[in-house]
Structure 1
Amino acid sequence: MSMDLTYWKDQARGAGFSEVAALKMETLVVNPEVRKMCAANACGQYGKNWACPPGCGDLEECASALLACDCGLIVQTVAQLEDSFDFEGMAAAGSTHWENFSRLRSQIQENTEKAGDVLALAAGSCTHCKTCAYPDAPCRFPEAAASSVEAYGLLVNQLCVDNGLAYNYGEHTIAYTALFLFKG
């Protein structure tokens, strides 16, 4: 399948992302140490969410899903904060990023003839449902759920650098990063 990444880059900008770049697929390096950071459970979602480890699959399954993809986009929502302790601003930027992410993913899902199958990886744990069905029942909204970039063992700051994007945009800023990977 010949993917028109220029089209999807334009759609990503239209969805509200601040930064958009074609993803160099060779930069998708699965790192077991990143998955170990998930297991440390700093976010409180490890073992409590279908989109987080271990619910999203073991690292080998995640690596196989990445390898099945032919091309992709790396996208960011960058926001200005009042100061380093502007937690409300961070939360607002995170919400904006999730809205941008959901908007673009919906456009992709509605245009499968242009997109084919897509693996969308978000920033942070899935928050679509107030309470996840994990582990007692299947995911109620698999089309809306999203694993994080880190859940797949990918180091976000390295991905950004390797793909020509900044990870840190300077003092009093925050950047949320996501991936859209297309399977031919």
Structure 2
Amino acid sequence: MYNEGINQDIIAHIISFGAAYAEEFEPSKLKFSDEIREYCKENLCCSYDTNWMCPPAIGNIQELKKEVIKFENGIVFQTVEIINGKYDKKGMIKGRDLHNDFLKKVVGFIKEKYKLQHILPMGAGPCKICTKCAYLDGKKCRHPEKAVSSAEAYGIDLGQLLDSCDLKYNYSNNSIAYVGMILW
């Protein structure tokens, strides 16, 4: 790991910013699964094959795994938002967007305080940097330095990661939880 003191400081800041929890992990121990990516094909988020940061455009799992395991440090965190029941789609989307805004804040903090530039953030759902992804026009990503994917798009088994960190996926009929991670 990079530096235990830095990792713990980052975790403390993530919690102080409002995360339900945050925990460090070793990226080399992540479990990747084709089954996770199969959920993307169900297209419940309406982003499959429409976004550079989603499958299939993001690449195959073996290539993505090679990218991920090059990182020495990882922190996983969860944000929880209150919703109006388990069918509150607007509340879920709002929670996802707040989670991804939270992720941007954390990444900005890490870059500013620790001068770390090679960071791989993973948020919830598809990248929403652009109103319309350049992928749809057959063009390269307009903002590759800002684009954010999700752990699921990488084929990462978040359930296994949370279990390995002794963390729970917190949700109920009146709340929605989103998990993010940052690698460096």
Moved more, 115-124 or 20-29: 20-29
Aligned residues: 181
Measure the CA separation in 1 of the matches of 2:29 and 2:21. Answer: 18
Q: Does 1:129 align with 2:130?
A: yes
User: Structure 2 counterpart of 1:42, which letter?
Assistant: L
On the 8 A contact 2:40/2:48 being kept in 1, the answer is yes
CA gap 1:30/1:7 in 2 versus in 1, 3 angstroms: same
CA gap 1:50/1:16 in 2 versus in 1, 3 angstroms: same
Moved more, 11-20 or 89-98: 11-20
Q: Which runs of 5+ in 1 are unaligned?
A: none
Q: Hey, which bits of structure 1, 4+ residues long, moved more than 4 A?
A: none
- Look up the match of 1:2: 2
Q: Which runs of 5+ in 2 are unaligned?
A: none
Cα drift, residue 19 of structure 1:
1.6
Question: Percent identical across equivalent pairs?
Answer: 30
TM-score (norm 2): 0.87
User: Structure 1 counterpart of 2:102, which letter?
Assistant: N
TM-score (norm 1): 0.87
User: Structure 2 counterpart of 1:47, which letter?
Assistant: D
Q: Does 1:25 align with 2:31?
A: no
- Look up the match of 1:55: 57
User: Structure 2 counterpart of 1:72, which letter?
Assistant: G
Cα drift, residue 116 of structure 1:
4.9
The alignment yields a C-alpha RMSD, in angstroms, of: 2.0
Secondary structure of 2:111's counterpart equals helix
